[in-house]
Structure 1
Amino acid sequence: MVHFLTIGRLSRSIATTAKSATNKLQRNESILAVQAFGDSFLDTGNNNHIISITKCNFPPYGRDLVGRKPTGRFCNGKVISDLIAGALGVKELLPSYHDKNLQSKDLRTGLCFASGGSGYDPLSSKINRVIPLSDQVEFFREYKVKLKAVVGKERSETIIANSLFLISSGNNDILFSYFATRLRKLQYDVPTYTDLLATWASAFFRDLYKLGARKFAVLNTSPLGCLPFSRTIGGGIKRRCADDYNQAVQLFNAKLSAQLSSLSRELPQSTMVYVDLYSPLLDIILQPEKYG
C-alpha cells in the first residue's frame, strides 16, 4: 500500500507525522529500527571520514545538539532521521554507520547510511565526492552481517523486516547535476531527466527490498528554487524563487509518487509512504508570518 503524508511546521510536527506513519506501516510488530539512506537531510556523520568539501564536522554545526559539538549533521541540532527515530521511540539519535564510537547495541535499532551531497543520479555523488547510493547499499549489506553476528539469524531478519527505511534523495540531482553544473542539462531536457531520476529511484528501492526492506518512508524533493543559491542565479533582480528549479522538482515529485504507488502493488508485503516536504517548506518560505 502507499500513503501520502505531509510534514508541517518542520521539526515541531515531524514527530507527529512519524507516529502517523508508524500506524500505517505497522503490521504484527512495532517499528524496531530505523535505517536511513540518501542525502544531507538524513546524514548523521557519514561524510566525516571522506575527502570532500561536503562536510559539516566543524562549528557552528551542532551547537544546539546534546554536547554542543559538531557531529557531521548538516544542522545546528538534530536532523530528520534523529527526529523520526525519536518519535518512534527507537532511539534519541541515529548513529552513522561510520561512527568510530559505534557499539554492537547500536546495531539492534538501526543506523544512518546517508551521505550529504549524494543522489539518485550517480553523477551527483561524483560531483560532490561523497558516498553514492550504491555504496550505501553495500554498507547496509555489511551491517546485516554484523547484526546477524550480534543477535542471530532469526532475530536479525525480524529487525530488518520491521525497520523503517527512511530515504531522502533527489535534491542534489536537480540542484547540482542538472542546474548548477549543467552536465545533465546538456544531455536531457527536464521531462527526460526526471524520468531517469524516477527510474534510478525505483531501482534503489528494489535493491533495498531484495535485502529485506519492507517499510519505506520516502521524502520528496524540497523547493530547491527557493534556496539562496537558486534565487541568486535564477531569481532575477528581486531574488524571487527560481520557477524553473521548482517546476523541475514538482515534475520529479509527481513521478516519484507514481513509482512508489506502482512498487507498492508489485512488491509483496511492501508498504510505501510518500512524505511531502515540498508543500509545507514552500508555504513557510512564501508565508513566514503564518509560522511566527
Structure 2
Amino acid sequence: MLCSKMTTTFWIFFFPFLLIKHKAISGRESSASVSSILIFGDSTADPGNNNYIYTPFKSDFSPYGRDFFNHSATGRFTNGRLANDFIAKYIGLKEMVPAYLDPSLTIDELISGVSFASAGSGFDPLTPSISNVIPLSDQLSHLKEYRQKVEAVVGEAKAKEVLSNALFLVSAGTNDFVVNYFTLPIRRRSYTIPRYIDFVSNGATQFLQELLDEGARRIGVVGLPPMGCLPLVITLFTNHPILDRGCNEKFSSVARDYNKILRKELDALQVRVRSSGARIAYLDAYTPLEEMIIGHKYGFDVVNSGCCGTGMVEAAFLCNRNSPVCDDASKYVFWDSIHPTQKSYHLVFQSFRPALDYLVGN
C-alpha cells in the first residue's frame, strides 16, 4: 500500500515535467499546449490493436513492417510508419503512436498518446462486425477507460487537462463503402448511395460529438481517399482488371460526395462548439493521393497495384511471408491492395500540416 501511494505521489509531482520533456525529434519544440495525441478509426490509424483481438484482419507478420524501426511488423498495414506517426513527431510528442491495447505500455507512453483504432472498423456499426474488429463505440469506451487510468496516476484535474489539450484524430469511412455497402448486399437493400453517404456522415458527426462530450477540444477528421483508385477496388469492380488498371470513377465520385457532406457537417459542428474553444478541422487525404496516382506527382513508378504479391488483391493474411515483394516500396503508392506505403503516408501527412497547425495553435 505504501509503495502504491509513493508511486502515485511520484507521478503527480513529476507529471508536468513529462509533458515539458516531449520535443519533436525533428528539432522543433513541442507545441506547448499539446499534451497528447489520441487516435480513432480503421487500418489507416491502427498501429496494432488488432493484434490483441480475435480477427483475421491482422498484419503483425512480415512483410508488413519491412521498413519500420527494426524491420518489425507491429500491426500497421504498411511497410513502415502511418501518417499519424509522422503527425506525432511533427507536434513534438513521440516517434510513433502505440496501440492502446499493447499491455507493455508505460504510463509515459500512455499519457503522451495512443491509438484506439482498429483495422476494418467504420462509422456504420455493421462494418466492424464483418471482420470482428473494434467498433468506434468500443473505441470510445477505451477512451473512457484510458481517462480512468490517467486519473489513477495524476488525478482527475490533470487527466481532464490531458484530454482538453490533446490532439484527437479520426480516420474511418472507407470500409463502410468498399467492404460494407458495395461488397455486401445488406445496406444496399435499404439505402441508396446518397442516403448511405448521409448515414455514414451522420455517424461521423455523432462520434465527434461524443468525443467533445468526453472533453476533446482539438479534433482532426480525415476524409475519404479516392476509393476508385485502390488496387483492390480496381480488381474487384472493373470489367477487365488485368488490362484496365485505371481508377473506378464511380467509387471516387462517392468519396468526393461524402467528403463534401462531411466538410459541411464539420463546419456546422465548429460553429456550434466555437464558444467552448474547441477546434475542428478537415484533413484532406483525397487530393494528395489523387495527385500521386492520377497527377503522377512525386515520381511514383507504380500507382495502380501494391508492392506485396501481385498487388491486385493481397492484403492482411493474403500478404504474408510467402508473398513476393517489390524491391523498393518507395516507388509504389500502395503497399498492398488497399493501404498506402510509408512514403505515401508521409506525403499525405505533409498535406495535413496547415490544418494541424490550426488545431494545435501554431
1:288 paired residue number: 296
Using the TM superposition, give the Cα deviation of residue 290 of structure 1 relative to its aligned residue in structure 2, in angstroms.
4.6
TM value normalised by structure 2: 0.71
Using the TM superposition, give the Cα deviation of residue 113 of structure 1 relative to its aligned residue in structure 2, in angstroms.
0.2
Using the TM superposition, give the Cα deviation of residue 122 of structure 1 relative to its aligned residue in structure 2, in angstroms.
0.7
Matches within 5 A, 1:103-252: 103-237=106-240, 238-252=244-258
Cα distance in structure 2, aligned partners of 1:80 and 1:134:
23
1:47 paired residue number: 50
Using the TM superposition, give the Cα deviation of residue 289 of structure 1 relative to its aligned residue in structure 2, in angstroms.
5.4
- The one of 73, 78, 86 equivalent to 2:81 is 78
Residue 294 of structure 2 aligns to which amino acid in structure 1?
L
Using the TM superposition, give the Cα deviation of residue 75 of structure 1 relative to its aligned residue in structure 2, in angstroms.
1.3
Using the TM superposition, give the Cα deviation of residue 150 of structure 1 relative to its aligned residue in structure 2, in angstroms.
1.4
2:4 paired residue number: none
Task: Give the SS at the match of 2:80.
Answer: coil
Sort the Cα spacing of 1:289 and 1:164 in 2 relative to 1 into closer, same or farther, 3 A: closer
Deviates more, 1:229-238 or 1:150-159: 229-238
Q: Relative CO higher for 1 or 2, CA cutoff 8 Å, sep ≥ 6?
A: 1
Structure 2 residue runs of 5 or longer lacking an equivalent are: 1-23, 301-362
- The one of 10, 28, 33 equivalent to 2:36 is 33
Residue 277 of structure 2 aligns to which amino acid in structure 1?
Q
TM value normalised by structure 1: 0.88
Alignment pair present for 1:256 and 2:262: yes
- Checking the alignment, whether the CA contact within 8 Å between 2:45 and 2:82 is kept in structure 1 is yes
- Checking the alignment, whether the CA contact within 8 Å between 2:291 and 2:297 is kept in structure 1 is no
For these two proteins, the number of residue pairs brought into alignment is 268
- The one of 104, 107, 110 equivalent to 1:101 is 104
Cα distance in structure 2, aligned partners of 1:134 and 1:30:
28
Query: Matched residues, percent identical?
Result: 38
Residue 197 of structure 1 aligns to which amino acid in structure 2?
V
CA displacement, residues 216-267 of structure 1 (integer Å, 9 cap, x when unaligned):
0111011111111211232333132111111111111111111110111112
Task: Give the SS at the match of 2:141.
Answer: helix
Where does structure 1 differ by over 2 angstroms across 4 or more consecutive aligned residues? Answer: 233-237, 287-292
CA displacement, residues 96-124 of structure 1 (integer Å, 9 cap, x when unaligned):
11112111111221111000110000111
- Checking the alignment, whether the CA contact within 8 Å between 2:217 and 2:278 is kept in structure 1 is yes
Residue 245 of structure 1 aligns to which amino acid in structure 2?
F
Cα distance in structure 2, aligned partners of 1:59 and 1:273:
35
CA displacement, residues 30-86 of structure 1 (integer Å, 9 cap, x when unaligned):
211100000111111100011111110000111211121111111111111211111
Task: Give the SS at the match of 1:130.
Answer: coil
Cα distance in structure 2, aligned partners of 1:59 and 1:105:
29
Cα distance in structure 1, aligned partners of 2:113 and 2:104:
15
Cα distance in structure 2, aligned partners of 1:198 and 1:99:
30
Cα distance in structure 1, aligned partners of 2:277 and 2:297:
43
Cα distance in structure 2, aligned partners of 1:154 and 1:291:
50
Deviates more, 1:280-289 or 1:211-220: 280-289
- Checking the alignment, whether the CA contact within 8 Å between 2:128 and 2:135 is kept in structure 1 is yes
**What do you get for the CA RMSD once the two structures are aligned?**
1.7
Structure 1 residue runs of 5 or longer lacking an equivalent are: 1-14
